[in-house]
Amino acid sequence: MNYSQAAAAALSEAMEADPGVIALGEDLGRGGIFAQYRGLQQKFGADRVIDTPISESTIMGAAVGMALAGLRPVVEMRVVDFALCAMDELVNQAAKNRFMFGGQGRVPLVVRMPIGLWTASAAQHSQSLEAWFAHIPGLVVAAPAAPDDNYGLLASALASGDPVVYMEHKELWAVEGEVVPGTRVPLGLARRLAAGGDVTIASWSKTVPTCVAAATELEAQGIRADVIDLRTLWPWDREMVLGSAARTGHLLVVHEAVQVAGFGAEIAAAAAEATGCRIRRLGAPRIPSGYSKPLEDESRVTVGGVVAAATTLLRR
């Protein structure tokens, strides 16, 4: 099952289990632009898998009203870049509602906004803005890297009762992997993909497989890396990451987002405060993503880049 099918399966099961779960967004009836809704409108009808106008503010804002009135909406923003048209509705409305009204209401919704570089899609379809949302009290932020996590995290997000910013990656949809039906992945729990005592490499989303490949190369050089996929950015698994960093004494945080003020900075600072370990970050330079391959490649995190960052960190 691939990453896209895994998400469709999780949503389908949630919709079967709870008639209050609905989905809304542009082009969902045709399966969504990444096929992550394929077959759902045919199965559940157009009243529950709702094709909407291109009205991001109201897609998001209506989902808040739907949640307050007893539904559990899954909101599709198409790509994170378009979610910027719905920032008031997400940040001022969905995230604040429960607190500012004194707990009178709940806003259980999942808003899907795929992040990341998407080959040759240039500056407005390629961003990774997870740090923006991790910064907002009231929101949960998830960023699965593999099909089983996309299945299990989406199920947990739907069950959480919170507004969850759910960030799939635009270039992971075709990734295949085994999915065990009925397996939920708890929010806030990281996953260790390689065990090693020399350096901790923490990452999420599409740079996770990059880091795993880098760990294999590092091992050939005699460097054993502890590779951790955060899976959830808020809350993030401090116990696993800080515990590992304390053991290895070296933490490398890798993400596809612009490195400056990225969520890696938060992890790095927390690790420095808690463990005093040596730290290095690797993200994109602070440039918009370019269209042409040589320009776009400047924004990409590569296996070689991770290996170089790790060896530099250990050499210092």
Partner 1 sequence: MGSTSRKLPLAMTQHADQTLSADKPRDRRPNAPHAVDRLVALYRTMARIRAFENAAEIASQGGVQAWGLSTAAKPALVRGPLHLSTGQEAVAAGVCANLTRDDLLTSTHRGHGHTLAKGADVNRMMAELFGRATGTNQGKGGSMHIADFSVGMLGANGVVAAGMPIAVGAAHALKIRDRTEIVACFFGDGAVNRGPFLEALNWAVVYHLPVLFVCEDNRISATTPTGPMTGGPGASARAESIGVPGAKVDGNDVEAIDAAAGRLVADVRGGAGPRFLHAVTYRFKGHVSVDPGAYRDKAEVAAAMEFDPLLVARRALADRGVAVGTMDAIDAAAKAEIDAALTQAESAPWPEPAAAYTDVQNTGAGQWR
- Interface residue list for partner 1 (CB under 8 A): 22, 47-48, 52-53, 55, 57-58, 60-71, 73, 88-89, 92-93, 97-105, 137-140, 160-163, 187-188, 234-235
Closest by CA to 69, choosing from 108, 40, 15, is 108
* Minimum gap (Å) between residue 222 Cβ and partner 1: 38
Q: What span, in angstroms and rounded, lies between the C-alpha atoms of 134 and 147?
A: 23
Residue 138 or 262 having the CB closest to partner 1: 138
Residue 98 or 169 having the CB closest to partner 1: 98
* Minimum gap (Å) between residue 247 Cβ and partner 1: 23
* Minimum gap (Å) between residue 84 Cβ and partner 1: 13
- Residue 60, classified by CB atoms within 10 Å of its CB into exposed (0-12), middle (13-18) or buried (19+), is buried
Please say if 250 is a catalytic residue.
no
- Are 173 and 2 in contact by the 8 Å Cβ rule? The answer is yes
Active-site option among 125, 169, 250, 255: 125
* Minimum gap (Å) between residue 233 Cβ and partner 1: 10
Report whether the peptide linkage leading into residue 144 is cis, meaning its omega lies within 30 degrees of zero: no
- Are 257 and 166 in contact by the 8 Å Cβ rule? The answer is no
Residue 8 or 86 having the CB closest to partner 1: 86
Residue 70 or 285 having the CB closest to partner 1: 70
* Minimum gap (Å) between residue 107 Cβ and partner 1: 10
Q: What span, in angstroms and rounded, lies between the C-alpha atoms of 92 and 178?
A: 38
Residue 73 or 196 having the CB closest to partner 1: 73
Q: What span, in angstroms and rounded, lies between the C-alpha atoms of 92 and 86?
A: 10
Placement of tokens 């932020």 in the chain? 141
Q: How many CB atoms lie within 10 A of CB 297?
A: 11
3-state secondary structure of 152: helix
Q: Which residues contact 141 (CB under 8 A, 6 or more apart)?
A: 130, 133, 134, 164, 165, 167, 232, 233, 234
Catalytic site positions: 125
